[in-house]
Amino acid sequence: MKWKNRKKSSNVDDRRKNSSGGGGFRMPSMQTIFFIMPLIKPLLKSKFGWAVIGLGAVAYMSGFNPLSVVGMGGASSSSLVVANEEKDDEQAAFISTVFADTEAIWGKIFRNEGYRYEEPKLILYRGETRSGCGLANSQIGPFYCPSDKSIYIDLSFFDELQRKYGATGDFAQAYILAHEVGHHIQHLQGTLKKVENAKQRASGKAGANALQVKVELQADCYAGIWTHHAHKTYNMLEEGDIDEAFNAASSIGDDRLQKQAQGYVQPDAFTHGSSKQRMTWFHRGLKSGKMKDCQTF
């Protein structure tokens, strides 16, 4: 994707250096306190135990969460260790540029419809940070929070996307961001609130899941719309970019993820849609460029 020498968004809050695990002291969460108390009590009975507690406290204040070795504490060590800071900064610059592209494109689309586009915020972090929807950590993946109208992205997710799911390329990352911006569009339209209300009336978990799938597929379609108009505006697409988006959409389809995790597919547990569905709706938005063609409901 051609992106250099273009405007970066001013609506980016870069917390990579300040995220939990990135160095410096932070108060432990209540979840962490409740978990460690049964472990600490036996240690208080001996000098060796007090020494262990002291070492753990020093490690924690230095930015390392001792609970990460037992799978607790949110951030994984891989998300906190940046092997190449220059590369990490370039990735942040890329995401900020793509985000600026979404602002410009969606601003124009909304103006053409007679509305004003309210720009979201983008929060970049590594490890763990706070959001208007609760604690954000590297295990959650990118998400949109309607409460503070912000998109949260731990840059280590893109490393995992490539390493674990084989979704490579910068446009795979652009697609992920554009999908989350799609959720912001849904928030502005009132779609997210309507769906949450409908979930309360849905018949069981399967019914609520089916509604969420429609939300996610529409966000994929909106990502396609952005791609359609952004390429017309910036001539940004290079050979293989669309294939990268398709590969990313396929890699994180519910059927593929379920197959990898449990060996079988359970459609009524889908929350984002199958690989085929996600690719289909992205392509629909890409081809059309019109919001009316993204009616998944």
Domain ranges of the chain: 30-74, 81-294
The pairing of strands 128-131 and 134-137 is antiparallel
DSSP 3-state assignment of 291? helix
For 114-117, the CB contacts below 8 A with 24+ separation are 117/188
The mean pLDDT value of the chain amounts to: 85
Kindly state the DSSP code that residue 273 receives in the 8-state scheme.
-
pLDDT at 29 over 60: no
Phi and psi at 256, nearest 5°, equal -70, -40
pLDDT in tens, 85-98: 888 899 999 999 99
Sequence-ordered alpha helix ranges (H) in the chain: 30-43, 47-61, 77-80, 85-112, 156-165, 170-189, 191-201, 204-234, 241-251, 254-262, 275-288
| Residue-level pLDDT at 10 | 96
Q: Which residues contact 113 (CB under 8 A, 6 or more apart)?
A: none
Phi-psi domain of 73 (left: phi exceeds 0; alpha: psi -120 through 50; beta: other): left
pLDDT at 69 over 50: no
Distance CA 224, CA 72 (A): 37
According to DSSP, the residues that pair with 123 across neighbouring strands are 13, 152
| Residue-level pLDDT at 20 | 59
Q: Which residues contact 167 (CB under 8 A, 6 or more apart)?
A: 161, 244, 247, 248, 251, 252
pLDDT at 71 over 50: no
Between residues 50 and 209, the one the model is more confident about: 209
What's the farthest any 2 CA atoms get from each other in the chain? 71
Best-predicted range by mean pLDDT (17-21, 34-38, 86-90): 86-90
pLDDT at 76 over 80: no
| Residue-level pLDDT at 244 | 96
Sheet harboring 121-125: ordered strands across?
12-14, 121-125, 150-154, 143-145
Phi and psi at 52, nearest 5°, equal -65, -45
Kindly state the DSSP code that residue 67 receives in the 8-state scheme.
G
Tell me the CB-side half-sphere exposure of residue 292, using CA atoms within 13 A.
1
Between residues 155 and 237, the one the model is more confident about: 237
Residue type, 192: L
pLDDT at 160 over 80: yes
pLDDT in tens, 234-291: 999 999 999 999 999 999 999 999 998 999 999 999 999 999 999 999 999 999 999 9
